[in-house]
Each structure stands twice: as C-alpha cells, then as structure tokens.
Amino acid sequence: MNAAPVVIAGASMAGLRAAEQLRAAGWTGPITLVGDEPHAPYNRPPLSKEVLAGKASFDSLAFRPRAAVADVTWNLGTAVVRADLDRQSVELSDGTGLSYAALVVATGMRPRRLRCPGPTAGRHTVRTLDDARALRTALTEPGARVVVVGAGFIGCEVAATAVALGAAEVTVVDPLPLPMAGPLGELLAGALKRRHEQRGVRFALGAGVTGFEGEDRVTGVALADGRVLPADVVVESVGSIANTEWLDGNGLDLTDGVLTDEHLRVGGRPEVVAVGDVARFPNARYDGVPRRVEHWSIPTDTAKHAAKVLAGHLAGAEPGLDPFAPLPTFWSDQHDFRLQSFGAPALGREDVRVLDGDLDGDVLVGYHRDGRLVGVVALGGQQAAAAAARHRAELLQQPALTA
C-alpha cells in the first residue's frame, strides 16, 4: 500500500515553499499540491507594479522550479472543497477523495468586493495573473479615467502604475483621511500622500463609495459626500478575505484566516498546519496576539517553521523548536520611490519619530511602543531602504513586548 501523502491545499508561493521546506526538513514521502488556479506558482508583487506597467512579462512571474520538489504531484485547476480533519481526508472539486498523513493549509486570500449598486463591467481587482492581464488591457486604453477604491498599499501601487501608463486621470478614494495610515501612521502617510500628488495622483479621501454609475458598464463612482467621479476603469482594492470555507465544519476558529498555535498548528492537531497569508498566528516577538500578515516574506518564514514541525511529527518527534517569531519585512514600490519596512510599525503608531533624513526627501521613521523600537519604515530611494535594513539587528534583539 502507498504511504499517504502530505497534502498541500493552495499551490501558490506558500504552498510551493511548504513543499520545498518539507524536503529540506527530511520528509521523503509523497507530497500532493492542490491549487485551484490553472497556473504553476507565480510571484504576485509585480502584478501591481512591473508586470502591470509592461516593464516585465507575465511569463517572468513563474517561480523557478527546484530539484528538491521535482517529484511532487501537482493537481492544478482543482479546488479542495471540503476537509474532514478527524478522518484525515480532503475532497477535491473533481470528486476525488484524498487521505493525508499531514495537511498544509495554504489557500491564501481573495479580494474583498464592494457591495454597491451599479454595473460590474469596468470594475477590476488585482490578485491573480488573470486579474492583472485584464487590468493592464483596461489601463492601456487611451485616455482612461481611473478610480482606485482603497488607499492601501496595493491601491497606491496601482495608482502609481496607472499614472506611468499615461491614464488621463487617476483618483484614489478612501473613507479614511490618509493613504496607508493603518500600517504607517499619520506622519509618514501624509508624506506619502504629498509624493503621490506631486506625481499626478488625486485623492478623494474621507468619503466612502455608495454606488457605481452607468448602464452596461461603469461610467462613474458615487461617493457618500455627493460627489460623482467620472470613471472608465475602477480598481477595487479594499482588502481581502481568507479562503477557508473548505475547512468549515471542523470546529476551527476561522474568524479571520485560520487560527494557529505558536508552532503554526491548527485546531490542536499536530498533523495540520497553516502557512502564508491565510495563517493567523501569535508572534512570540510581539504581544502574542494572533494576526495574519500579508507580506511576501511570510510564506517562506511560515513554511520553514511549519515544515520542521510537520516533518518532526511525521518522524514521531516533538517540535523541539522555539515558538514562531518572524521579523516581518515588507516593501512597496510606488512611482520612483520605495517603502521598506522591518518589524511591526503598526504596533508603534502612537510614538513615531524621524530617525534620519526629512519627510520631503529620503526619510527613515521609527515606531516605538513603551519606548522600545518595534518597527522602522524608509520612504525614498535605495539609500533609505538600506538605512532601514541597518536596523534589522536591533529589532531582532529587542525583548518580546510581553516580557
């Protein structure tokens, strides 16, 4: 009889990294990856930047295949529709049932959509390769008037790319008074807004969207304060929803992603782990409050830790590891500048200090909690990003916030 595989649900970055790290951690048994997209795993950050701008090709997004995972079984274009964690089995959209020795939850996020009245044609999101293809076609129509709903990092990136592509008008709408104020705090968010405005982006802040105008396709965006913004292309960038419905009925906490313990295990089960954007984990480095982290560094960090935990369990050993305590890192390219973040700035939003430079040039900002540095963000060119990186060691040495 064949040994049961490790089944990885979700065949994107976190799923791929989990497979690679399982091999690195010594699991030599079968691995089956199941992914509902038809594409092999690809890199998402360029979808709102280089690839959307036409500076890199869609083909360049694919992750390079590594020899260590040449023998894994791929089930692409197939969703996991149900899981029975007591029976250690999953059901796929093609009707197949799969028993597993261990399960890796790597199903990530999908874009939240606005539930407002009006036409849907002309409204876009950007999460997948197919989304980005459709958006690029729309943005390269001559004279396009673009409204980006949501002033988070993806909204700001898409607005910058739309300007670079020559859109006639680009307006970012958000009910909050500043872009990216949640992760950055008001000081840096204000500087970010000024830079966007200097490069041609308009903002309509402080009012939410109430509806979309137009018959067959969108022609305008109506705001709560009565304004109507003319629009040929709307990009909805209003957050994301975790893909966890397939885990319903197993008694798990799926409030916002999949709740894990300090070793990324799910529901008290040593053979089930969650990785990537979908994992809501306590970070021993901070206050122990479980949070999801949608940063590119997290699929790899979570996969490394979870794979050691699983491989140990499958070999009959306890984890013997320190609790998971990654240092989150994040970057965002917008126009000709980069935001580069290390640590957890959002936890230190109440005590923000300029550490280097000035807010109209290259600047490095520090975020503090109880007087301790918990995060740094640089805004500017390569030198600012390098200055942020120099604080990594200091951030890594800080005692846990709960200590």
Ligand X SMILES: Cc1cc2nc3c(=O)[nH]c(=O)nc-3n(C[C@H](O)[C@H](O)[C@H](O)COP(=O)(O)OP(=O)(O)OC[C@H]3O[C@@H](n4cnc5c(N)ncnc54)[C@H](O)[C@@H]3O)c2cc1C
14 binds ligand X (CB under 6 A): yes
Nearer to ligand X, 299 or 312 (CB): 299
309 is a contact residue toward ligand X (CB under 6 A): no
Minimum CB distance to ligand X, residue 228 (Å): 28
Residue closer to ligand X by CB (options 79, 204) is 79
Site for ligand X in 116-175 (CB under 6 A): 126-127, 154
Decide: is 261 part of the binding site for ligand X (CB under 6 A): no
By CB under 6 A, name the one of 36, 174, 261, 362 that touches ligand X: 36
Q: Which residues pair with 236 in a beta bridge?
A: 149
Q: Which stretch binds ligand X (CB under 6 A): 5-13, 57-65, 375-383, 393-401?
A: 5-13
Report if residue 35 touches ligand X, rule: CB under 6 A. yes
Q: Is 101 in the site for ligand X (CB under 6 A)?
A: no
Closest to 134 (Cα-Cα) out of 143, 145, 146, 125: 125
Residue placing its CB nearer to ligand X in the complex, 126 or 365:
126
Q: Which is nearer to ligand X, 106 or 192 (CB)?
A: 106
Residue 9 vs 352, nearer CB to ligand X: 9
Q: Shortest distance, CB of residue 226 to ligand X, whole angstroms?
A: 32
User: Does 45 contact ligand X by CB under 6 A?
Assistant: yes
Least distance from ligand X to the Cβ atom of residue 157, Å: 7
- What span, in angstroms and rounded, lies between the C-alpha atoms of 277 and 368? 25
Contact 73, 5 (CB under 8 A): yes
- Which tokens in the block code for residue 168? 């006639």
At closest approach, how far in Å is the CB of 367 from ligand X? 17
Does the protein bind ligand X through residue 338 (CB under 6 A)? no
Q: How far apart are the first and last CA of the chain?
A: 50
Which among 270, 274, 269, 276 is positioned nearest to 254, based on CA atoms? 274
Q: Measure Cα distances from 106 to 16, 19, 251 in Å.
A: 9, 11, 18
For ligand X, the binding residue among 21, 32, 88, 107 (CB under 6 A) is 107
What is the smallest separation between the CB atom of 316 and ligand X, expressed in angstroms?
A: 29
Distance of CA 52 to the CA centre of its chain: 17
**Piece in contact with ligand X (CB under 6 A), picked from 33-41, 66-74, 249-257, 282-290:** 33-41
Residue (45 or 190) nearer to ligand X, CB: 45
Among 332, 349, 367, 375, binds ligand X (CB under 6 A): 332
Contact set for ligand X, span 186-205 (CB under 6 A) = none
Binding of residue 48 to ligand X (CB under 6 A): yes
236 sits near ligand X (criterion: CB under 6 A): no
Shortest reach from residue 220's CB to ligand X, in Å: 25
Binding mask 276-295 for ligand X (x = CB under 6 A): xx----------------xx
Q: Which residues contact 390 (CB under 8 A, 6 or more apart)?
A: none
For the chain, the C-alpha Rg in angstroms (whole number) is 22
Closer residue to ligand X in complex, CB, 257/366: 257
Nearer Cβ to ligand X (222/341): 341
- Report how far residue 116's alpha carbon sits from residue 120's, in angstroms, rounded to the nearest whole number: 10
The two tokens of residue 212 are 């979309």
127, 122, 95: which is closest to 110 by C-alpha? 127
Is 77 a residue that touches ligand X (CB under 6 A)?
no
- Which residues, other chains included, contact 64 with Cβ-Cβ below 8 Å and sequence gap of 6+? none
108 binds ligand X (CB under 6 A): yes
- Least distance to ligand X, CB of residue 303, Å: 9
- Picking from 105, 114, 102, 132, the residue whose alpha carbon sits closest to that of residue 34 is 105
CB of 127 or CB of 269, closer to ligand X: 127
Residues that bind ligand X (CB under 6 A): 9-10, 12-15, 34-37, 44-45, 47-48, 79-80, 106-109, 126-127, 154, 243, 246, 276-277, 294-296, 298-299, 330-332
